[in-house]
Structure 1
Amino acid sequence: MDHASEFPPSRLIRGFFRRLRRPELLACLPALTLGAYLLGGERLLYAASLGLPFLIGLAALLSSRPETAEDMRDGVTGLLLRDALLEALDDALDRARSGGRGTACIVVTLDEPDSLIDRFGHACFRQILRHCAERLGERLREGDTIARLPGASFAIALMPSRRQDLETTLQLAARLQHALSLPIPAGKRSLVASVSVGFCLGERAPAPGGAALLAAAELAAENARRQGPGAIRAHAPEMSVPAPDALLDDRISLALENGEIRAHFQPQISTDTGEISGFEVLARWQHPSRGLIAPGDFLPALLEAGLSERLSEVMLVQALAALRSWDNAGLHIPTVAINLSGDELRNPRLPSKLKWELDRFDLAPSRLTVEILETVAADAQDDVIERNIAALAAMGCGVDLDDFGTGQSAISIMHRYAIRRIKIDRSFVTRADEDRDKQRMLSAILALAEQLGLETLAEGVETPGEHAMLAQLGCGHVQGFGIARPMPLAETAVWIERHRAKLDHTPLLGKHLR
């Protein structure tokens, strides 16, 4: 990995040259020239007339360059910053073209950094970034250059190589992602992070120059985050630029009331039978001009507008209407799952509101599952959340502990909140069929759940290998893009029929390696 060298002259000399260019000193130039003539005659006059402009020009030249390598480094990680990375990319592209070699830019980003700050605090978040920087640096070659981008992202300019093709870059991207997916010390605890990666080959950059190459890699990383998270994407010309939040803020309330923000349904599958065990309800915005917008691009604006409870009401009604629709079509789906935030769980009227809606659709409470983030359950400071969850469980609703393994898990939480099932976070699932460390962690989680009599569901399953490994380890249910992407209600009936038709021709996956 490149380490920037010091730029001569020293900082003390640079300070002198910067002062030499100050406007008040330039205004005194005629007086200085006259003073030189009075003190030393014509010789000193000539020296001052020629020497002072030379020194001022030299000062301008030096001040336009970076002062030292330290001035181009991030104060938290010690890595180079964006401008230095652009210089490295420009240089790599020039050397690649002249030598008939290839280069690339890779962008690695921690998913949901705001959530990490909320859970661990700013000081601990800085520690996490330093560990990430060290791990990435250890897996790069001597000639590669790594920099920190704003937020929780890192960018790498790869040294030109004769074998820097798509497959080689993809393998490196996967190694970098894996490095950050291992447990990271976070204060007295550890974090298993979700990481998205995007990259662009130098030959496929949309325009010449390092700036265009970096922008393409950043766009690929953003598309990976929106598709995953925890995904890897190579830049493609058809990738869309995410809509800026500022352009969405003004429409968010109107979109919610006009029905543009609608429920999409992602199936959950039993690993024992292959049957559909339920659907999770996920919000999607069908924008009239921008098309389908992922929740990560509009939920912050919606929360900022104070519309989280209204969104939950809309998702609940659409979820229960879907159950009734499937029942009427003879497609029995056991449950639908909806997500409830901390603010919603603090509403004392939540149990009565859910019961009223269930009665309105003539559905048993057991048909509804509520998902609660592990961090919300662990950080609850009052009794309202506990009372509400207990009331929902007593009513007969299922209670899932979401994102299990990313927060402050405790057996007391599972007992106190009458948890029925834990949802294993996608960070444990990605490449679990290849990673022995993840297999050991999954085995421990599943053994704990079995001892406590809890059901298990793994989210973020993307490959048949991950699906098979989870089944063999004893995970009861799976969900993810490898099963199906979230779909509108109108598409679910066809998918359900096709899936059930395939079961007759699909062998069941073996179970229990533990």
Structure 2
Amino acid sequence: MMTFGMRMRGWGTRTLAFARRPELLAFLPAVTLAAWWMGGEGALIATALAVPLAYALAGIAGVTPAPVAAAPGVDPVTGLGLRDGVERALDIALSGRGDGAATACIVIGLDGADRLARLHGHSAFCEILARTGARLAGAVRRGDVVVRLEGACFAVALAPSPGLDLEGALQTAAHLQDTLEVDLRLDDITVALRASVGLCLAGRAADPGGAGLLAAAIVAMDAAHLHGPGAIRAYADDMRRRSQDIAELRRDLGPALDEGEVQAFFQPQISTCTHRVTGMETLVRWDHPRRGLLAPADFLPGLLAAGLADRLGEVMLSGALRALHRWDRAGHDVPTVTVNFAPEELRNPRLPERVQWELDRFGLTPDRLVIDIPEAVLAQGADEMLRQTLLRLAELGARIDLDALSGGHASVEALERFPVNRLKIAPRFVRGLDGCATRQRTVAALLALAERLDLDTLAVGVETPGDHAILAQLGCRHVQGFAIARAMPEAAATTWIATHTAGIGPPLRIGSPKP
């Protein structure tokens, strides 16, 4: 009896282990069979009763499965170390530089992390981070240290290596970037990842020590984000000042949008046949109170990174339709306005509702609005949410421009999948068109493609009268660029429209003398 009791206490201990380790339940049939073999029918019954009882007791005592707390200094999502880990590794590497070995810090940030989290949800985003961390850990050399920083950023401290120079560090950064930019498969969806990378070699940071080297690499990554997606930048002395300027601009952007400093400017589009205005493209400018008029390149990346794309879209759409309404009331013939939306907005299923509300607010029909879609957005891959948003906008009656048409695979696929009304010829094909026969043949081929598909055409970036004339001869129907007019605020655009229209005069009749 004593032996049987000891056996039962052993079974009880093992059963409680099942409660703490649910994955061990796979062995439950074998355990019950062993109980019957060793203790007979009584042991079998005891085991069958003990397992549920152990789970009940474990639940009462709080032993039921719960997330395992991360060890101190370990990220619970990726299992990697944290910031202090890479700083310590860099301090150790820097202290041993007397033997001629050099080190560097590389910081990698996933592009569009906020969009990934919104699009796929928190759990899937954590899985993306975990698998990204695993990829990095598997791609570095022995002795390199990989940690996770805040958000969707990772840092790598390179183990000291003789002869490590900027070229070698850039090659390592590019290798890590390539490792991350392989599509991830999550359940039944494929996630395309892009990463921006910053790096700093030892001795080039403004502050000595591991913390200073890491901070410099972060500044370089911020600079890469501004030139991204998928850019790589090495730290330079002037980056810190530019990073501070960008941080200041980001702080000012929210109030600037609310107070009307961020404004809609307008660049005319005219017919190559009649020279009449056929539309106005809306372009963003920031009239900064201290820095003057800022172009989009100076603030747009920071604005998008700050999550203000939707707010900017509201300002630009409202400004464009308000101007069109005023031109109608003043008797100016401006058929359409073109508005550019950020990729994040084009994936917003509520965008068509907002567009309809703004059109109704100003008493305009949807065919007066043109939505500009950059080819680069479509080239990011088959995005069903974007496609559905564009289809709903087209069903609403808005017109769709495919911007920066290059004739490549992305262009052809976009023409098949999206409701495009007009093709825009990229500036790289338009500039210098007058003196380049090869470029003229390329543009002629693109225009022929548009004609076969019964699509309208617009050439952007027209800077000389000669390029304008060649485009008209080739059959491009609309042109836009500095040769016609630069982007200007609404008041100046109103004056330009009146002057331009008056200068055209009534259309000539066949046989009538020229003015």
- Using the size of structure 2 for normalisation, the TM-score is 0.55
Q: CA-to-partner distance for each residue in 1:119-167, whole Å, 9 max, x for gaps?
A: 2211111111122212223322122111110011111111122232111
Aligned-pair CA distance for 1:460: 13
- Report the alpha carbon displacement of residue 372 of structure 1 after superposing the two structures with TM: 4.2
Q: Does 1:380 align with 2:381?
A: no
Q: Residue in 1 aligned with 2:244? A: 242
Which amino acid counterpart does residue 90 of structure 1 have in structure 2? D
Matched residue, 2:89: 88
- Structure 1 position 420 matched with structure 2 position 400: yes
Question: Hey, what does 1:151 align to over in structure 2?
Answer: 151
Match of 1:119 in 2: 119
Give the conservation status (yes or no) of the 8 Å contact 2:246–2:299.
no
The letter for the 2-side match of 1:384 is: E
Q: Which residue does the alignment assign to 1:447?
A: 413
C-alpha deviations, 1:413-464, integer Å up to 9, x for none?
Answer: 5443226245699xxx9xxxxxxxxx9xx73663352476736779999xxx
Question: Which entry has the higher C-alpha Rg, 1 or 2?
Answer: 2
Letter in structure 2 aligned against 1:228: G
What is aligned with 1:75?
A: 76
Match of 1:399 in 2: 371
The answer on whether the counterparts of 1:358 and 1:365 sit within 8 Å (CA) in structure 2 is no
Distance 2:215 2:148 in 1: 14
Q: 1:313 to 1:447 in 2, by over 3 A?
A: closer
CA shift for structure 1 position 168: 1.7
CA distance 1:225–1:266, shift in 2 (3 Å): farther
Q: What is the distance in 2 between the residues matched to 1:200 and 1:114?
A: 26
Q: Structure 1 residues 245 and 163 mapped into 2: Cα distance closer, same or farther (>3 Å)?
A: closer
Deviations 1:313-349 (A, max 9, x none): 45x4xxxxxxxxxxxxxxxxxxxxxxxxxxxxxxxxx
What is the aligned counterpart of 1:356 among 319, 325, 335? 325
User: Residues 1-33 of structure 1, C-alpha deviation per residue, up to 9 Å, x if partnerless?
Assistant: xxxxxxxxxxxxxxxxxxxxxxxxxxxxxxxxx
Does structure 2 conserve the Cα–Cα contact (< 8 Å) formed by 1:197 and 1:231?
Answer: yes
Q: Find the partner of 1:369 among 338, 342, 353.
A: 338
SS in 1 for 2:140: coil
More displaced stretch, 387-396 vs 209-218: 387-396
Structure 1 position 237, deviation (Å): 0.5
How far apart, in 1, do the equivalents of 2:178 and 2:307 lie?
33
Contact 1:266 1:282 in 2 (8 A): no
Tell me by how many angstroms 1:203 deviates. 2.5
Q: 2:384 is paired with a residue of what secondary structure?
A: coil
> What does the per-residue CA deviation read over 1:378-403, in whole Å, with 9 as the maximum and x for residues that have no partner?
55259734746999784243223463
Residues 278 and 185 (structure 1 numbering): CA distance in 2 closer, same or farther, change over 3 Å? farther
Percent identity between matched residues is 30
Structure-to-structure mapping, 1:441-480, within 5 angstroms: 443=409, 446-450=412-416, 454=420
> Residue 190 of structure 2: SS of its match in structure 1?
strand
Name the CA shift for 1:257/1:382 in 2 (closer, same or farther; >3 Å). closer
Local SS of the residue matching 1:420: strand
What secondary structure, in the 3-state scheme, does the structure 1 residue paired with 2:135 have?
helix
Conserved 8 A contact 2:349-2:385: no
Picking from 288, 291, 299, the partner of 2:290 is 288
**Structure 1: unaligned runs, 5 residues or longer:** 1-67, 269-276, 317-350, 430-438, 462-467, 478-492, 505-514
Structure 1 distance, partners of 2:412, 2:219, is 37
Partner of 2:450: none
Q: What is the aligned length? A: 353
**Structure 1 residues 452 and 303, CA, compared in 2 at 3 Å: closer, same or farther?**
closer
In structure 1, give the amino acid aligned to 2:72.
D
How many angstroms does 1:250 deviate by? 7.1
Secondary structure, aligned partner of 1:214:
helix
Looking at structure 2, the residues matched to 496 and 304 of structure 1 have their Cα atoms a distance apart, in angstroms, of 28
Q: Give yes or no for contact 2:338–2:369 (8 Å, CA) kept in 1.
A: yes
CA distance in 2, matches of 1:125, 1:197: 20
Q: Tell me, yes or no, if the aligned pair for 1:285 and 1:295 is still in contact at 8 Å.
A: no
In structure 2, distance between residues paired with 1:242 and 1:202: 22
Shift in CA distance, 170/500, structure 1 to aligned 2, threshold 3 Å: farther
What amino acid maps onto 2:370 in structure 1? G
Distance 1:266 1:142 in 2: 56
1:185 to 1:475, Cα distance in 2 relative to 1, 3 A? farther
What is the CA–CA distance in structure 2 between the aligned matches of 1:187 and 1:496, rounded to whole Å? Answer: 47
Using the alignment, how far apart are the partners of 1:211 and 1:306 within structure 2? Answer: 36
Which stretches in structure 2 are left out of the alignment for 5+ residues? 1-68, 270-278, 429-437, 448-459, 471-515
Paired amino acid for 2:190: S
C-alpha RMSD of the superposition: 5.0
Residues 97-136 of structure 1: pairs in structure 2 closer than 5 A? 97-136=97-136
Following superposition, the deviation at residue 301 of structure 1 comes to 7.3
* Alignment correspondent of 2:500: none
1:185-224 Cα distance to aligned partner (Å, 9 max, x none): 3453222233211111113122221111000000111112
State how far apart, in whole Å, the 1-side matches of 2:264 and 2:401 are.
23
Q: Distance in 2 between matches of 1:251 and 1:497?
A: 32
Tell me the amino acid that sits aligned with residue 420 of structure 1. I
